[in-house]
Chains A and B, each alone.
Chain A
């Protein structure tokens, strides 16, 4: 049972793109992943429109007082087991926004993060590598 579940999760991780106040650059790079050049559908990765269908949340952007409750809400709405993948330096640490009054810390202060993919924005190759490494480690 556990094995089958793990296999299914490894072979078809559906991702929900949760953009919490990024500068939009990371998002564009995420969309690159589904273009013919990188085509992550090879690994069964599909971008879905509802957190209820998702197995992994791709979080981008620096988390602030406004977005924190909403991000937590979406995290709670996602059926478990679910991975959280922090994409971009904003999500991993806080990038250049650290001194801002509105920033409430990186994601791992508020919820478990499984993968950190730094870069501003990270290259699509490095995102694929991060996700594949995380799936291998499961």
Chain B
């Protein structure tokens, strides 16, 4: 019985299928809002599902001379990481005092899986543009991970030194969301920008810059494998804002969370549509110097309880 429940939670709700369906819906919101900003009509609501179905039923080509195992492992890694992340996030929010041990350190590792998958897949596909994309992805990962970690440390300090996800949420329920303080706002801004980079949205879409290196690491992927990449991205579009809500904005075990989620997603889309792409060195400088300094200020403020 227990095994069935665990399988259910990983595969159907809140793991893989639920997150994928909602995430694909959010990508429709992304495309529709983008279209409205461009003064266009935009695609119908079922567009992401149609794209997904079509990709699933198309031929999948493995390029000649590529490393087959790694090429196929790339998309899977990210998908697995995001499914586990979804289960942990939902469990922690709806049952914060439960015995399920989920801490932020595990989540940091799980969030590293999609970029690792992209790097592996991109370098395995034997295409010069894909390798350029993979190397940029790697650089960008190192760029945004530093401020992201510092911001998380300031959250841990605010939660009284606990790295347990459940306790962070309980602390917020007891003393109000962390976002309503100076260091909380700073951590929010830092994590928001890191989410933008994790999703590789403009201004941080350097790894897959459509106009210079076509689709970067995805260039050789077709059919099912491309569908999995797209779905992982869709799941991240749902899970990362939810993560922001749960570490800073009081968890999402209430109906307000839907509004908060939509607000963050629309903000991400607005930033995406009103900025030019940075170069990779500019992104590195931006994250290490600008945002890094900001996150350290936040850390000091959090230390003094502001």
Q: Which residues of A contact B (CB under 8 A)?
A: 1, 4-5, 7-9, 11-12, 14, 36, 39, 41-42, 44, 48-50, 52-53, 55, 77, 79-81
In the assembled complex, the Cα of A7 lies from the Cα of B35 at a distance in Å of: 23
Cross-chain pairs A/B with CB under 8 angstroms, 23 sampled:
A7-B50, A7-B53, A8-B50, A8-B54, A8-B57, A12-B51, A12-B54, A14-B51, A39-B41, A39-B42, A41-B35, A41-B41, A42-B40, A42-B41, A48-B215, A49-B215, A50-B220, A52-B61, A52-B219, A53-B215, A53-B226, A55-B54, A79-B58
* Tally of A-B Cβ pairs under 8 angstroms: 81
Interface residues on B, range: 20 to 34
Q: Please determine whether A9 and B54 come into contact, CB atoms closer than 8 angstroms.
A: yes
- Given the known A-B contacts A36-B39, A52-B222, are A11 and B215 also in contact in the complex, defined by CB atoms under 8 Å? no
Least distance between B194 CB and chain A CB atoms (Å): 26
- Given the known A-B contacts A79-B59, A81-B58, are A44 and B215 also in contact in the complex, defined by CB atoms under 8 Å? no
Q: Chain B binding site: helix, strand, loop or mixed by DSSP? A: loop
Q: Chain A binding site: helix, strand, loop or mixed by DSSP? A: mixed
Q: Please determine whether A8 and B226 come into contact, CB atoms closer than 8 angstroms.
A: no
* Shortest Cβ distance from A9 into B: residue: B54
Q: Please determine whether A44 and B222 come into contact, CB atoms closer than 8 angstroms.
A: no
Least distance between A60 CB and chain B CB atoms (Å): 19
The answer to the question of B60 belonging to the interface, with a C-beta cut-off of 8 Å to chain A, is yes
Q: Please determine whether B51 and A44 come into contact, CB atoms closer than 8 angstroms.
A: yes
* Shortest Cβ distance from B50 into A: residue: A11
The answer to the question of B90 belonging to the interface, with a C-beta cut-off of 8 Å to chain A, is no
The answer to the question of B38 belonging to the interface, with a C-beta cut-off of 8 Å to chain A, is yes
The answer to the question of B31 belonging to the interface, with a C-beta cut-off of 8 Å to chain A, is yes
Q: Please determine whether B210 and A49 come into contact, CB atoms closer than 8 angstroms.
A: yes
Residues of B1-55 whose CB lies within 8 A of A: 31, 35, 38-44, 46-47, 50-51, 53-55
Q: Please determine whether B215 and A50 come into contact, CB atoms closer than 8 angstroms.
A: yes
Q: Which residues of B contact A77 (CB under 8 A)?
A: 61
Q: Which residues of A contact B252 (CB under 8 A)?
A: none
* Shortest Cβ distance from B230 into A: residue: A53
Q: Which residues of B contact A53 (CB under 8 A)?
A: 215, 218, 221-222, 226
Q: Please determine whether B51 and A41 come into contact, CB atoms closer than 8 angstroms.
A: no
Contacts A8-B51, A41-B42, A79-B59 aside, 16 further interface pairs with beta carbons under 8 A come to: A8-B56, A11-B46, A36-B40, A41-B40, A41-B43, A42-B43, A42-B44, A44-B43, A44-B47, A49-B215, A50-B220, A52-B219, A52-B220, A77-B61, A79-B60, A81-B59
Q: Which residues of A contact B270 (CB under 8 A)?
A: none
Q: Please determine whether B31 and A41 come into contact, CB atoms closer than 8 angstroms.
A: yes
Q: Which residues of A contact B50 (CB under 8 A)?
A: 7-8, 11-12, 44
Q: Please determine whether B42 and A79 come into contact, CB atoms closer than 8 angstroms.
A: no
- Given the known A-B contacts A11-B47, A11-B54, are A80 and B215 also in contact in the complex, defined by CB atoms under 8 Å? no
Q: Which residues of B contact A79 (CB under 8 A)?
A: 58-61, 222-223
